[in-house]
Structure 1
């Protein structure tokens, strides 16, 4: 009996240690990201993803860091390298969490990475797909503030490109901000709504 209890205790302790290691790794990766150390952050999220192959969040964040650090690049080879890696990890995230609105809008952001680099080259093939991604995400999670804001930003960008007013999308940004204030995140390390950034987007819209 005592041996059985000891084995159970060891099993539980090992589980706690593994969970703590995951938490510490994720927290460190976020800290590196906050410090602007994008490469180091991406590499750590990648290592965590490989150590935790059934979790979607580490792969999701690896993709996000690679996508965000691709904006502003002038070399297409460097851009493709980053976005190809991002796609690889986004596919891993998808495999672990199907029809996830957070992953859908990150795929849309990845598409935007290509379009922002060369709209004439990539816009024709990726714009329609991006519209579909936002439509699907909104269908799954109509009150998700990140989905609403992402869709509004995408529509604003399209409007600017065609010389149209962005004001029709201001109300959606305001709605996203209000929903973001009320949102309660219960899953550890789940994506959070960035209120400050949303406020900046609203200023651009108005």
Structure 2
């Protein structure tokens, strides 16, 4: 009787675990669909709702932060952009809190967030954050030299720095090309693990690397 009861309890727990996982997957897929259809704000809100229900899961926080960071680059209102980045930092901090300290995906996203701040006011944030961005990419590259997003993002940052100092950004084209090779080999650790960047790499090559 005790054995039967134990089996029933295990089956009951497993059922609800499967149900919870199914709800998570459905929610994440819906959020990605919203994002891809241009409804980024709704997608970010849904990622946040998923995050509130998913204990110790960094991914929903990560994607909610990513949306706000990416969108901020096109924002012209300084006050709204700063508010957007402050919210993105809150979300990214939660992503970090629910992940390993040396998660390179979070390191790349933090570097992107600081880059967005630099575009907000280069005279203020350029000197303050440029060195930090470089350090973040160097740290990420040391941890995961074969991660395509690390290689691509660092190369794009280096290209921007080269332009700023009047140098040829084309010298970083080989790294962009290398990132494409890495994208072709990259295997995500899970269904929703970050896998973005390949299209960006192709666009950078087309626009900046003619040879």
Same fold at TM > 0.5? yes
Query: What residue ranges of structure 2 are gaps of 5+ in the alignment?
Result: none
Could you tell me whether the CA contact under 8 Å between 1:138 and 1:148 is conserved in 2? yes
Shift of 1:6: 1.9
Shift of 1:205: 2.4
Shift of 1:139: 0.7
Are 1:15 and 2:56 matched, yes or no?
no
Partners in 1 of 2:15 and 2:191 — Cα distance?
20
Query: What residue ranges of structure 1 are gaps of 5+ in the alignment?
Result: none
Moved more, 177-186 or 58-67: 177-186
Partner of 2:111: 108
Question: In the alignment, which of 50, 53, 56 is matched to residue 52 of structure 2?
Answer: 50
Partner of 2:121: 118
Shift of 1:167: 1.2
Could you tell me whether the CA contact under 8 Å between 1:180 and 1:193 is conserved in 2? no
Displacement over 4 Å in runs of 4+: none
1:28-177 maps to which residues of 2 (within 5 A)? 28-97=30-99, 98-177=101-180
Partners in 2 of 1:132 and 1:118 — Cα distance?
20
Are 1:201 and 2:204 matched, yes or no?
yes
Partners in 2 of 1:31 and 1:193 — Cα distance?
15
Q: Over aligned residue pairs, what C-alpha RMSD do you find?
A: 1.1
Name the count of aligned residue pairs: 206
**Cα deviation code 1:131-170 (max 9, x no counterpart):** 1100110010011110000000001111111221011100
Partners in 1 of 2:196 and 2:139 — Cα distance?
19
Partners in 1 of 2:62 and 2:150 — Cα distance?
15
